[in-house]
């Protein structure tokens, strides 16, 4: 069974946990270095985590806590070593060049301004089809480097992308009933 670690420093981690559990995955909440060390990447014995979720929330706060808890380097190295990671909203921001710097994307925070900060739409997601998308004070991806696959564009802005083991959405799939993006993430761990 897949065991997915969810960074639970701040933000909407519980909703990811519920959705992944619904899909039959085991989940582990990571609040500090001790939690992290207890669930290191899957080794020969099969214990540990096979994927990592970085939820939405507030990236400035999340950044401060990830440093305070001495999780910045271990998380960064684990992602760079190929662990599948799924970042939503603030979690997307956490992977960009100004933060963990594991993904070759340029992100604009709070990109839709105050008035349009939060909205809901249904739009095409590559390989899946139309999916519900809830945006909450969301970023979008301004530009991507070669090697980053664009998975969804809304109003001319990139809102989902993948670079190898790293999957990001500017919206919150954990808040809608549609589980297909989480299923896709689980499939990145070789589950399906």
3: its two tokens:
């065991």
From 119, 118, 117, 91, select the one nearest 105 (Cα to Cα). 91
Nearest distance from C-beta of residue 57 to ligand GLN, angstroms:
5
Please give the DSSP secondary-structure letter assigned to residue 175: G
74: its two tokens:
């271990």
Q: Which is nearer to ligand GLN, 8 or 90 (CB)?
A: 90
Judged by CB under 6 A, the chain residues 114 through 143 that form the site for ligand GLN are 136-137
Please give the DSSP secondary-structure letter assigned to residue 40: P
Judged by CB under 6 A, the chain residues 58 through 77 that form the site for ligand GLN are 58-59
Give the Cβ contact number of residue 172 at 10 Å: 22
Nearest distance from C-beta of residue 109 to ligand GLN, angstroms:
4
Residues in the chain: 192
Q: Applying CB under 6 A, does 105 fall inside the site for ligand GLN? A: no
157 is catalytic: no
Q: Applying CB under 6 A, does 27 fall inside the site for ligand GLN? A: no
Which of 52, 89, 151, 160 touches ligand GLN (CB under 6 A)? 89
Alpha helices in 105-172 (DSSP H): none
174 is catalytic: yes
Nearest distance from C-beta of residue 138 to ligand GLN, angstroms:
6
Close Cβ partners of 127 (under 8 Å, ≥ 6 residues apart): 151, 184
Q: Applying CB under 6 A, does 157 fall inside the site for ligand GLN? A: no
From 90, 104, 96, 22, select the one nearest 53 (Cα to Cα). 90
Q: Applying CB under 6 A, does 169 fall inside the site for ligand GLN? A: no
Which of 21, 37, 110, 145 touches ligand GLN (CB under 6 A)? 110
The residues that touch ligand GLN, with contacts defined as CB under 6 A, are 56-59, 89-90, 93, 109-110, 136-137
């Amino acid at each position: 069974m897949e065991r997915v670690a969810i960074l639970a420093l701040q933000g909407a981690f519980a909703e990811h946990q519920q959705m992944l559990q619904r899909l039959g995955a085991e989940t582990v909440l990571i609040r500090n270095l001790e939690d992290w060390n207890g669930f290191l990447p899957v080794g020969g014995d099969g214990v540990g985590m096979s994927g990592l979720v970085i939820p939405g929330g507030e990236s400035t706060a999340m950044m401060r806590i990830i440093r305070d808890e001495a999780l910045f380097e271990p998380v960064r190295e684990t992602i760079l070593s190929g662990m599948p990671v799924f970042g939503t909203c603030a979690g997307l921001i956490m992977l960009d060049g100004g933060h963990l710097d594991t993904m070759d994307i340029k992100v604009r925070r709070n990109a839709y301004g105050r008035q349009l900060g939060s909205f809901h739409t249904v739009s095409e997601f590559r390989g899946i089809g139309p999916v519900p998308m809830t945006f909450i004070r969301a970023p979008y991806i301004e530009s991507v480097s070669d090697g980053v696959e664009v998975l969804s564009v809304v109003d001319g802005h990139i809102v989902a992308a993948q670079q190898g083991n790293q999957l990001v959405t500017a919206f919150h799939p954990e808040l809608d009933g549609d589980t297909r993006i989480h299923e896709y993430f689980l499939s990145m761990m070789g589950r399906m």
